[in-house]
A and B are shown apart, each in its own frame.
Chain A
Amino acid sequence: MEFLRGMREDPAFEAFVERCSTPLLRTAYLLTGDRGHAEDLLQVALLRTARRWRTAREAPEIYVRKVLLNLSRDRIRRLMRRPREKPLDSVPDTVGTIGPHDHQVAERRAVVEALARLPIRQRQVIVLRYFEDLTVEQTADLLKMSSGTVKSYTSRGLGRLRELLTDNDNNRIARTHHG
């Protein structure tokens, strides 16, 4: 009920939802690795933000991201406890001719899949640092950890991604940049 009242009284929340839903959904997708769960996570995070709008309205982008990060951690733990559903639209490996565009698509998908295999903390740090372009300090603040810990998770996460991507014959990014 508080949420409904809040929405009628403060159009700023509606504007915030319209402005931030797309980037937040993309972040949620990278954190969960699943479009359906990302949509659900985004809705839960926005509802929580709405219920605390008086507090959150000063810096709603930060507030909703904190909620989203906490929810994603709990969600992934719960998903690990239950067998994952199989995707309905899995594409068979029957590509005939591979052109330059196919390589780019394969490379991008390989990165998304490799990211989904990282432990949640490393995944969160990599997404915030390099997908959202946040600084080490901003990432540390959102995740309630020290800058040193963020750097440590970043280093481990990138190292693991290099391993995973190097294993993938279709991907050249890790070899290109591994120094």
Chain B
Amino acid sequence: MADDDQFGERLGTLLRNELSDVYPEPGMTDRLRTRSRRNLMVRAGAIAPVAVAAAVGLVVALGAAGTETSGVNDDPRMVSVGYVRTQVTDALDRSTDYIVLAHSTWADNGRMDEWTEPATGRRRIDLYVNGSLASSATETPEAGGGARWFQIDYQNRTWTDDHRSAAELRVPVDSFQDFPAADPMSIREAVANGSLEVMGRETVDGHDTVRLRLKLTADVNRLPVAMELWVDAVTYLPYREKISKSGRFNEGTESVVFSWLKRSPENQKVFDLAAPAGFRDHTGGK
């Protein structure tokens, strides 16, 4: 251990030297004040469009994209923003009937498949790098409020099996949560709280959809986030989602296509992930 300590102390010295010229940008307290105000504005701003729409009885015609008109709600094709918001959030409240597969792609050929089972809270994530499956992970809620996180790293041929306690999971998540993720509850949150526009009917890959546009202000590096959502014109369940971010970090567009799978034993097998033969246990850095 003495040798370990000597090695560790040497590392510490090198790290301190390497970071000796790293300082926060000046005016930290001012930036915290600004950020705190911005958080309040996001919350207030998300509520305002709903209130305005309700107050004036704003009605949007579902015609071609970008041809919204105001009018009276006596045409079956004419629905208010509030009506669409309610239909989508209600539909997503029923997502416990399904396993949701979100197929995400990025501009740089990145790809991720994420299955969620809202009824049980189970998730599986397959991440592809340069077209090859790089990792698979499942998150399984456990009794007592904790969760098991099992991950296979195909590139390094290792697997890890971690557990997080309820207390660890209760720690408030960081501001990354402001990004609408590709799971039903995150989309519901975005639709319920974002500034919503109904753009019109649109046929996507043969699906009759209603196209929605949401504006959010995620509080990560002050990035504006624009989100477009195509919901099924009959069920109001999301069919396609497109998120655009701009700024110094994470600039780009993420496109997601959803499949709503029946909760059958066959479809639930996707959550049964096991370590492939010959892979090494890397739990805790073994």
Contact = CB atoms under 8 A, between A and B. Distances in A.
Interface of A: 1, 3-4, 7, 14, 17-18, 21-22, 25-26, 29-30, 35-37, 39-44, 46-48, 50, 70-71, 74-75, 78, 80-83, 85, 104, 107-109, 111-112, 115, 118-119, 121-122, 126-127, 129-131, 133, 144, 152-158, 160-162, 173-174, 176-179
B35 A43 contact: yes
Contacts, number: 151
Contact of B15 (A81, A111, A122, A152): A111
Given A36-B248, A118-B285, A44 B175 contact: yes
Interface in B153-177: 160, 167-168, 171-176
Interface of B: 3-4, 6-12, 14-19, 22-25, 28-29, 31-33, 35-37, 39-40, 106, 108, 110, 112, 125, 127, 129, 135, 160, 167-168, 171-176, 220-221, 248-251, 282, 284-286
A26 B22 CA distance: 7
B178 to A, nearest CB: 11
Contacts of A42: 24
A109 B220 contact: no
Contact of B284 (A18, A121, A173): A121
Overall SS of chain A's interface? helix
Contacts of A4: 33, 36-37
A82 B220 CA distance: 15
B89 to A, nearest CB: 25
Given A26-B19, A75-B176, A119-B284, A177 B6 contact: yes
